[in-house]
């Protein structure tokens, strides 16, 4: 049967439903002790002294680690988004003499249990000498702003420009120029399981084992080796069950060095589980960008030019993602629109806030909000319907593959698709014309009802390579060893479907092994909606080699030319004589070293493959939403929400639509609720779920999710485009447009909190 395209039930589910999932917090090792991290309470200060005497005297405390125990510390390198200048502001795993955000690690306490470790944290005395703090990107760039890193004058460790076409000439030809500033607020991935690690050093085997690394297991394996000096062969990373990722979880953080260091230092297995308050201060945040943008159009709505400056608030240090979010913003700000003249200047800015990284649809969520808002502002001034303005500017199918022009850090050739067709389909599903009439009628009754569109192009499936090894095991089962990771998305199920189809076996005969560095030598992890694209493509390549090997073994045994053999239903048989056949278990026995060597064959049935590409697929689609806003309270009711996305080919439609629904819920959270507020001294004000508002079942509407596979990607053998991010990417855009339409205002920042909407309404009344 063909598994690809079928909504196969997830193989991950049953143990998780029984409570048998082993997450990192569920790992127990003999003699295990518990770490707690002492974090800076100051946004910017010198660390004058640390006194752990009282903590060390507390019964049950194993020890305390400070920077003094870690001479010659290296900084944590970027793994992506690399710009030379950003290296100057990388973070050491523990603060040496200065702290730059509330949450910066200052000391590690290890104790018999977590309760005692937290008691001891309160007994460690740190003397801080406060320095002035700066929290806003624009303020941090001012001449008199406090400098965070001595080597980085002006707090801008890197900037870059994108320049396509001739922007100045094009603006001179415009009939209308819309100029506006926009802001997207700091919020974050916030997976439900906080981070955690268990580290144990076995002196006899000389192996440091770590449970908990995920997302980028192999990258982190290499980074820990480089930072610690241990060879990779002495480090074993194991990815347990993972409670969500969304970009933040599984990067190399300070604790990814400190916890294994503590295990080796104290010669005890050490467990560290982040608590939620730490999670909201220490784990990568995201999305905080400021834009000044000009969009130039002709009277007929044709866009001629766009010019943007983006400030990317990075927080106190460069982390592993480097400048990736703003690279993505600057690349995808044009999104699905044909904009031939484009200039963008992007600035990475250091501030005394928690460092940042990616969050699902990094940089694109922000850029989509800005572009789609500008389009609606332009449409209003030109007297055009927002849908019509988009129709006139969407890249047309005959222009595919479409090259947006050179970008210093981003692949820019859209692979395939019919963007206008997708918009028309979405308008049809939504009943757009009728909805517009209903909005008009509602407004006539004094009700603030509006509709918003957010067109998008996503980018997924990042390379440059992925690894797969496929084996036929002793029982005849097929095992895929993949370099991608699971963060809870169901990748083992999707990869099993691909392998089962390719090997012509039942999905029940396929196992997937991932996230274990002892079993999988290489990997590029789970990010950028790449697992099915890259991991699936590598698996296909390895399967094809294994099939050749199976045919060679059968050919030697049956003394029949391989060309006269067929593979089906888990057996190889002679064409036209199905009774002469060998199943995979029999072939595995023939591949044992004894019989294989006797026949002059290489023993074993295991083949590796790398799928390598510099190209990327570009899924695309539309968000469309109808809202009603209560003019008294500023509360938004979502009346209907549609997400459409073309992802090339669906491996498992159920999982795809689950990704869309989950992404949308996060997008609604980001557009309406979630915000890391800091006071002007850099003190975070949202350090619990009482203040950081996550969307509940009452906040998220049912939504409608339509995934299509009309335009397979030509860039990989499966035709897939990656499906993890379309559900979130234009949520801020569509909701901001709908609210602007409902209230007759122009939203220029997120989130759409009631106070902000009341402010906009007041301003509109006064003008």
Partner 1 sequence: MNKRTITLRVNGAEHTGETEPRRLLSDFIRDDLGLTGTHVGCEHGVCGACTVLVNGDPVRSCLMFAVQADGAEIDTVEGLAPDADTLHPLQEKFHERHGLQCGFCTPGILLTARALLRENPDPSDTEIREWLSGNLCRCTGYVNIVTAIREAAKEVSRR
Question: Considering only residues 662, 670, 722, 726, which one is a binding residue for partner 1 as defined by CB under 8 A?
Answer: 662
The contact pattern for partner 1, residues 246-265, with x = CB under 8 A and - = no contact, is: x-------------------
Contact (Cβ atoms closer than 8 angstroms) between residue 605 and residue 591: yes
If the CB atoms of residues 550 and 636 are measured against partner 1, the closer one turns out to be 636
**Residue located via tokens 């089906």:** 568
722 CB-near residues (< 8 Å, 6+ apart): 458, 460, 461, 528, 529, 530, 532, 533, 617, 619, 647
Of residues 276 and 544, the one with the C-beta less far from partner 1:
276
What are the tokens at 60? 């049950």
Q: Does 490 help bind partner 1 (rule: CB under 8 A)?
A: yes
Q: Which of residues 721-740 bind partner 1 (CB under 8 A)?
A: 727
| Strand partners of residue 46 | 98, 129
Of the two residues 527 and 713, which places its CB atom closer to partner 1 in the complex?
527
Residue 352 in tokens? 């005394």
Sheet holding 235-238, edge to edge: 61-66, 105-111, 33-39, 270-273, 196-202, 207-211, 235-238
Does 444 sit near partner 1 (CB under 8 A)? no
Secondary structure of 343-400 as H, E, C letters: EEEEEEEECCCCCECCCCCCCHHHHHHHHHHHHHHHHHHHCCCHHHHHHHHECCHHHC
Strand partners, 578: none
Tokens of 751: 């989130």
66/527 with CB nearer partner 1: 527
Q: Does 496 bind partner 1 (CB under 8 A)?
A: no
Q: Encoding tokens for residue 570?
A: 């888990």
Nearest distance, CB of residue 654 and partner 1, angstroms: 5
- Write phi, then psi, for 671 (nearest 5 degrees): -80, -30
Among 111, 126, 487, 739, binds partner 1 (CB under 8 A): 487
Asked whether position 674 contacts partner 1 by CB under 8 A, the answer is: no
Stretch that binds partner 1, among 11-19, 163-171, 255-263, 289-297 (CB under 8 A): 11-19
Residue 504 found at the interface with partner 1 (CB under 8 A): no
What does DSSP say about strands 510-514 and 478-482: parallel, antiparallel, or unpaired? parallel
**List 567, 661, 673, 758, residue binding partner 1 (CB under 8 A):** 661
Peptide bond into 751 cis (omega under 30): yes
Q: Is 426 exposed, middle or buried (0-12, 13-18, 19+ CB in 10 A)?
A: buried
Rounded to whole angstroms, the Cα distance separating 663 from 641 reads 13
CB of 205 to partner 1, least distance (A): 27
Among 69, 275, 424, 746, indicate the residue that binds partner 1 (CB under 8 A). Answer: 275
d(CA 455, CA 342): 19
List 329, 358, 416, 666, residue binding partner 1 (CB under 8 A):
666
Stretch that binds partner 1, among 330-338, 483-491, 501-509, 519-527 (CB under 8 A): 483-491
In whole angstroms, how close is the CB of 697 to partner 1 at the nearest point? Answer: 4
Q: Is 243 in the site for partner 1 (CB under 8 A)?
A: yes
Sheet holding 571-574, edge to edge: 565-568, 571-574, 577-583
C-beta closer to partner 1: residue 320 or 652 = 652
Among residues 183, 455, 223, which one has the least CA distance to residue 335?
455
Applying CB under 8 A, among 276, 292, 443, 580 the residue interacting with partner 1 is: 276
Minimum CB distance to partner 1, residue 663 (Å): 8
Backbone angles phi, psi at 603, to 5 degrees: -65, 160
For residues 245 and 1, the answer to whether their CB atoms sit within 8 Å is no
Binding window for partner 1 (CB under 8 A); candidates: 310-318, 325-333, 422-430, 692-700? 692-700
Task: With beta carbons less than 8 A apart as the criterion, state whether 348 and 152 touch.
Answer: no
- Assess 31 for contact with partner 1 (CB under 8 A): no
Q: Among 323, 483, 488, 621, indicate the residue that binds partner 1 (CB under 8 A).
A: 488
Q: Residue 299 interacts with partner 1 (CB under 8 A)?
A: no
Among 689, 744, 762, 763, binds partner 1 (CB under 8 A): 689
Residue 491 CB, nearest approach to partner 1 (Å): 11
Taking CB under 8 A as the criterion, the residue among 146, 244, 405, 421 binding partner 1 is 244
Report the C-alpha gap between 411 and 615 in whole angstroms.
Answer: 7
CB of 194 to partner 1, least distance (A): 7
Contact between 204 and partner 1 per CB under 8 A: no
Q: CB-based contacts of 229: which residues, under 8 Å, 6+ apart?
A: none
Q: Which stretch binds partner 1 (CB under 8 A): 20-28, 328-336, 454-462, 573-581?
A: 20-28
> Is 20 one of the binding residues for partner 1 (CB under 8 A)?
yes
**Rule CB under 8 A: which of 109-128 touch partner 1?**
115
For residue 628, the minimal CB distance to partner 1 (Å) is 18
HSE-CB of 12 using CA atoms within 13 angstroms:
20
* 396 vs 689, beta carbon nearer partner 1: 689
Residue 587 phi, psi dihedral angles, 5° rounding: -65, -35
Residues that bind partner 1 (CB under 8 A): 9-10, 12-14, 16-23, 25-26, 115, 190-194, 241-244, 246, 275-276, 487-490, 654-655, 658, 661-666, 688-690, 694, 696-698, 700, 702-703, 727
């Amino acid at each position: 049967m063909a598994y690809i395209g079928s909504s196969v039930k997830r193989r991950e589910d049953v143990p998780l439903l029984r409570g048998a999932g082993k997450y990192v917090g569920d790992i127990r090792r003999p003699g295990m002790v518990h770490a707690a991290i002492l974090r800076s309470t100051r946004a910017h200060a010198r660390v004058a002294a640390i006194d752990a005497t009282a903590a060390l005297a507390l019964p049950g405390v194993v020890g305390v680690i400070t920077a003094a125990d870690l001479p010659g510390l290296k900084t944590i390198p970027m793994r992506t988004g690399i710009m030379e200048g950003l290296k100057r502001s990388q973070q050491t795993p523990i603060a040496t003499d200065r702290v730059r955000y509330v949450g910066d690690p200052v000391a590690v306490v290890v104790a018999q249990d977590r309760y005692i470790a937290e008691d001891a944290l309160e007994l460690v005395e740190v003397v801080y000498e406060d320095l002035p703090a700066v929290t806003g990107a624009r303020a941090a760039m001012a001449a008199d702003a406090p400098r965070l890193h001595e080597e980085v004058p002006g707090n801008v460790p890197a900037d870059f420009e994108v320049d396509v076409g001739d922007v100045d000439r094009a603006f001179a030809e415009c009939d209308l120029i819309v100029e506006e500033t926009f802001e997207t607020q700091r919020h974050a991935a916030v997976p439900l399981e906080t981070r955690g690690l268990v580290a144990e050093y076995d002196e006899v085997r000389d192996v440091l084992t770590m449970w908990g690394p995920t997302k980028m297991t192999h990258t982190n394996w290499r980074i820990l080796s480089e930072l610690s000096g241990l060879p990779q062969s002495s480090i074993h990373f194991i990815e347990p069950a993972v409670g969500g990722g969304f970009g933040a979880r599984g990067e190399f953080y300070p604790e990814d060095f400190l916890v294994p260091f503590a295990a080796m230092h104290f010669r005890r297995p050490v467990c560290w589980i982040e608590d939620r308050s730490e999670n909201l201060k220490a784990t990568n945040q995201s999305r905080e960008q400021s834009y000044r943008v000009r969009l130039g159009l002709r009277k007929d709505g044709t866009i001629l030019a766009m010019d943007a400056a983006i400030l990317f608030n990075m927080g106190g240090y460069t982390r592993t993602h480097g400048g990736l979010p703003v690279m993505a913003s600057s690349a995808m700000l044009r999104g699905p629109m044909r904009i031939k003249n484009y200039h963008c200047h992007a600035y990475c800015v250091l501030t005394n806030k928690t460092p940042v990284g990616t969050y699902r649809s990094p940089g694109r969520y922000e850029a989509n909000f800005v572009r789609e808002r500008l389009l609606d502002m332009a449409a209003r001034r030109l007297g055009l319907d927002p849908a019509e303005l988009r129709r006139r500017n969407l890249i047309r199918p005959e222009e595919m593959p479409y090259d947006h022009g050179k970008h210093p850090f981003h692949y820019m050739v859209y692979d395939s698709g019919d963007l206008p067709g997708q918009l028309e389909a979405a308008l049809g599903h939504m009943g757009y014309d009728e909805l517009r009439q209903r909005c008009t009628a509602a407004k006539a009754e004094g009700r603030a009802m509006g509709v918003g569109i957010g067109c998008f192009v996503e980018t997924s499936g990042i390379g440059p390579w992925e690894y797969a090894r496929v084996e036929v095991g002793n029982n005849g089962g097929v095992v895929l060893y993949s370099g991608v990771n699971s963060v809870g998305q169901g990748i083992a199920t999707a990869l099993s479907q691909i392998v089962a189809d390719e090997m012509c076996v039942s999905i029940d005969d396929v196992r997937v092994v991932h996230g274990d560095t002892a079993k999988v030598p290489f990997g590029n992890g789970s990010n950028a909606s790449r697992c099915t694209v890259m991991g699936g493509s590598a698996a296909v390549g390895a399967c094809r080699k294994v099939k050749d090997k199976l045919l060679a073994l059968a050919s030697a045994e049956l003394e029949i030319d391989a060309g006269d053999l067929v593979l089906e239903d888990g057996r190889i048989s002679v064409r036209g004589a199905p009774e002469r056949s060998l199943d995979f278990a029999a072939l595995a026995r023939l591949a044992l070293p004894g019989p294989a060597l006797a026949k002059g064959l290489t023993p074993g049935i295991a083949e590796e493959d790398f799928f390598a590409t510099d190209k990327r697929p570009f899924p695309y689609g539309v968000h469309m939403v109808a809202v009603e806003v209560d003019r008294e309270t500023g509360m938004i009711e979502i009346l209907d929400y549609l997400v459409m996305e073309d992802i090339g080919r669906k491996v498992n439609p159920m999982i795809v639509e689950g990704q869309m629904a989950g992404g949308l819920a996060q997008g609604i959270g980001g557009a309406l609720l979630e915000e890391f507020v800091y006071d002007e001294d850099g003190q975070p004000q949202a350090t619990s779920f009482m203040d950081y508002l996550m969307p509940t079942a009452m906040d998220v509407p049912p939504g409608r999710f339509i995934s299509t596979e009309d335009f397979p990607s030509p860039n990989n053998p499966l035709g897939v485009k990656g499906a993890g991010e379309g559900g979130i990417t234009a949520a801020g855009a569509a909701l901001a447009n709908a609210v602007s339409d409902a209230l007759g205002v122009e939203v220029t920042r997120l989130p759409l909190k009631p106070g902000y909407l009341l402010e906009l309404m007041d301003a509109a009344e006064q003008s």
